[in-house]
Amino acid sequence: MAKELKDLTKRSVSYSQWYNELVVKADLAEQSDVRGCMVIKPYGYAIWEKIQRALDDKFKETGVQNAYFPLLIPKSFLSREAEHVEGFAKECAVVTHYRLKTNEEKNGVVVDPAAKLEEELIIRPTSETIIWNTYKNWIQSYRDLPILCNQWCNVMRWEMRTRLFLRTAEFLWQEGHTAHATREEAEDRAKMMLKVYADFAEKYMAVPVVQGVKSETERFAGALDTYTIEAMMQDGKALQSGTSHFLGQNFGKAFNVQFINKENQLEYAWATSWGVSTRLMGALIMTHSDDNGLVLPPKLAPIQVVIVPIHKNEEQLKAIDEKVDGIVAQLRALGISVKYDNADNKRPGFKFADYELKGVPVRLVMGARDLENNTIEVMRRDTLEKETRTCDGIVEYVKNLLDEIQENIYLKAKTYRDEHIYECDNYEDFKARVKDGGFFLCHWDGTAETEAKIKEDTQATIRCVPFDVEQTPGVDMVSGKPAKYRVLIARSY
């Protein structure tokens, strides 16, 4: 069985297959029998819960409150905002009936034609429409603003090609929806939430991200501006990991949300929305993991430390148990999540492989000789380095080691990412190289035509106009026209 666990396709053979296998073998998720819908297994869900908890705290620190809005959206709501319906009507699940009845053969159920809805309902692909239809009743005066709501929920988009976590018909996410009295305040909020996402990605997920603004083509349907964080996977492709939208007054107008402003005039409310989803799980897995399995950042690992005993007989085990119990108690007192696996139905070698596969950041092993010598073996998952240390001060050592691993995998990912960002001024050169991955910083003339040509020629897209790049004017590498700034171009998930 240990062999089977290790039997993971190598990244160098097929990065894509490696990912698909890893998600299943590490017990994170699996396909269900419902097309495109996944089952998130307990180990995967435990990581998602840690992501949720950390993000939720950060949202609340900025004044956001959670709420809950209906799953189903009347079909007509979608049509209110012209771009929005264009973006979402093509891929939605439609509820048309509200009852089943026994079939004629009495061996199954069929849709009851008598129970047809007057107006069809859509399973939310995103909730701007139903939420702004609600805000209409909450907002009369500037004193009612801002409204800062978030919901954690499921959404559904009828994707044709799905991959676990990265693109599924149903996924879990949070969607924040805010209403403001001024344009400036709304724009600030949209940017503030992007920063929350970027901080979370870098400090918790240990995933470095490029922050920037999307081109018009790549904007959210109904937004005036879409801000994004883009992460680089180990194959050099970009993964859009979170977006925050400045929606202007589009939804305020579509749902007639007007308020009396400070100047006593009627004005449409200003909006933002922002979300991250279970797609973050994909980013987490693909950024750090290796051919032995998952590598998890300690801050999001359900089990941060695992301890495995090696013993020849019950007596030895009992002595090790006693010693380890003290270490476990001390680790827990420091808030470290630790598992002592002294189950006797699996060999140590199997356990080692399994916890490596599951990405547990630190493994401690204690054998009979360790017990004699007051030592313990420490292995760190990120580098797979082992050392034998004295048990004196081991708890503080492990605590610091967890911090070091968190920092190290971030730096490793950042080094990789930075080494694969290229300035490029020649389209032939670009076309030859973009296939192999990497982020390309290229001058762009700002036209949709150029953008479309790049996509057609290379499948690469403009990921964003990055914020943290010192911009100088130049010449568009495709059209030869003047360009004000460089954009980040890459193939993406």
Binding site for a copy of itself (CB under 8 A): 30, 32-34, 37-42, 45-46, 48-49, 65-76, 78-79, 85, 89-102, 107-109, 111, 120-123, 130, 133-134, 137, 143, 149, 153-154, 156, 158, 170, 172, 345
Residue 462 CB partners (closer than 8 Å, separation 6+): 214, 215, 217, 218, 444, 451, 454, 487, 488, 489
Q: Which is nearer to a copy of itself, 10 or 332 (CB)?
A: 332
Q: Are 215 and 465 in contact (CB under 8 A)?
A: yes
CA atoms 91, 92, 97, 103: torsion sign: positive
Please report how close the Cβ of residue 361 comes to a copy of itself at its closest, in angstroms.
20
- What are the start-end ranges of the E strands in 76-146? 94-97, 100-102, 109-111, 116-123
Q: Are 146 and 185 in contact (CB under 8 A)?
A: yes
Q: Are 166 and 81 in contact (CB under 8 A)?
A: no
Please report how close the Cβ of residue 121 comes to a copy of itself at its closest, in angstroms.
7
Please report how close the Cβ of residue 131 comes to a copy of itself at its closest, in angstroms.
9
Q: Which is nearer to a copy of itself, 94 or 411 (CB)?
A: 94
Please report how close the Cβ of residue 161 comes to a copy of itself at its closest, in angstroms.
14
Q: Are 466 and 443 in contact (CB under 8 A)?
A: no
Please report how close the Cβ of residue 97 comes to a copy of itself at its closest, in angstroms.
4
Q: Which is nearer to a copy of itself, 79 or 330 (CB)?
A: 79
Q: Which is nearer to a copy of itself, 78 or 295 (CB)?
A: 78
Angle at 257 between CA 253 and CA 261, to 5 degrees: 105
Please report how close the Cβ of residue 176 comes to a copy of itself at its closest, in angstroms.
12
Question: How far apart are the C-alpha atoms of 76 and 110, rounded to whole Å?
Answer: 27
Q: Which is nearer to a copy of itself, 39 or 384 (CB)?
A: 39
Please report how close the Cβ of residue 217 comes to a copy of itself at its closest, in angstroms.
20
Q: Which is nearer to a copy of itself, 39 or 432 (CB)?
A: 39
Residue 391 CB partners (closer than 8 Å, separation 6+): 323, 327, 374, 375, 376
Phi and psi at residue 487, to the nearest 5°:
-120, 165
Query: Residue 192, exposed/middle/buried by CB under 10 A (0-12, 13-18, 19+)?
Result: middle
Q: Which is nearer to a copy of itself, 127 or 211 (CB)?
A: 127
Q: Which is nearer to a copy of itself, 22 or 281 (CB)?
A: 281
Question: CB-hemisphere CA count at 13 Å for 431?
Answer: 11
Of 122, 147, 137, the C-alpha closest to 256 is 137
Phi and psi at residue 242, to the nearest 5°:
180, 145
Please report how close the Cβ of residue 63 comes to a copy of itself at its closest, in angstroms.
11
